[in-house]
């Protein structure tokens, strides 16, 4: 974990597994382009949880990529989340130091933040001030090689009582998507 010299408690955790993850993502052909199947999965995540935003997110050393994305507009655009490329163009990419998915990947465990402002460690994240995110529910996508490829997650601009039911739902859906990724890989062989 790194610390912000301006006094914020948390930045993004150190990710020792990122190079291996990038190799595995490239082997699977994931993390470089949006995919309709992942957009459909993100739509389903939003429907099941009632969340306005949901993502299938793959993470490399420097950024996050929303291969699947659901937003309230239904346009599968990162604009609603403030995912903006350095050129100012709307993108499905977000800096690695934004959001909570990098924490889930490094921890290799699901994370429930019913109100991110209740947790000083997470309240200082740029997505709180820049986008207005107030709640998060995410789980890692750990494939058969033991690699944490990324996450699935849902977020809201209001606090949400996800509870144990939300935790079990997100973990179950993550396992389902990992199986889908495995079937996709087997189809290529």
pLDDT (tens digit, 9 = 90+) per residue, 12-27?
A: 788 999 999 999 999 9
Instruction: Look up the pTM and report it.
Output: 0.85
How is the chain split into domains, by residue range?
18-188
- In this predicted structure, the answer to whether residue 85 has a pLDDT above a threshold of 50 is no
CB 174 within 8 A of CB 152: yes
Mean pLDDT in residue range 169-173 = 98
Confidence label for 30 from pLDDT (cuts 50, 70 and 90): very high
pLDDT (tens digit, 9 = 90+) per residue, 98-136?
A: 888 999 999 999 999 999 999 888 887 878 877 889 999
Chain-wide mean pLDDT for the chain? Answer: 86
Give the DSSP letter of residue 67: E
Instruction: Write the CB contacts of 125 (distance below 8 Å, at least 6 apart in sequence).
Output: 10, 98, 99, 100, 116, 133
CATH of domain 18-188: 3.30.450.40
């Amino acid at each position: 974990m790194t610390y912000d010299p301006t006094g914020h408690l948390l930045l993004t955790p150190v990710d020792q597994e990122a190079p291996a993850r990038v190799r595995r993502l490239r082997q699977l052909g994931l993390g470089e382009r949006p995919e309709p199947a992942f957009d459909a999965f993100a739509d389903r995540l939003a429907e099941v949880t009632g969340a306005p935003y949901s993502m299938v997110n793959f993470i490399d050393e420097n950024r996050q990529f929303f291969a699947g994305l659901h937003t309230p507009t239904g346009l599968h655009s990162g604009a609603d989340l403030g995912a903006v490329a350095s050129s100012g163009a709307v993108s499905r990419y977000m800096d690695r130091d934004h959001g909570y998915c990098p924490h889930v990947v490094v921890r290799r465990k699901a994370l429930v933040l019913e109100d991110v402002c209740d947790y000083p460690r997470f309240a200082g994240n740029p997505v709180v001030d820049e986008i207005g995110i107030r709640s998060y529910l995410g789980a890692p996508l750990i494939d058969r090689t033991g690699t944490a490829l990324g996450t699935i997650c849902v977020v809201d601009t209001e606090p949400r009582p996800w509870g144990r039911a939300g935790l079990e739902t997100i973990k179950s859906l993550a396992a389902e998507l990992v199986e889908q990724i495995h079937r996709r890989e087997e189809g290529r062989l």
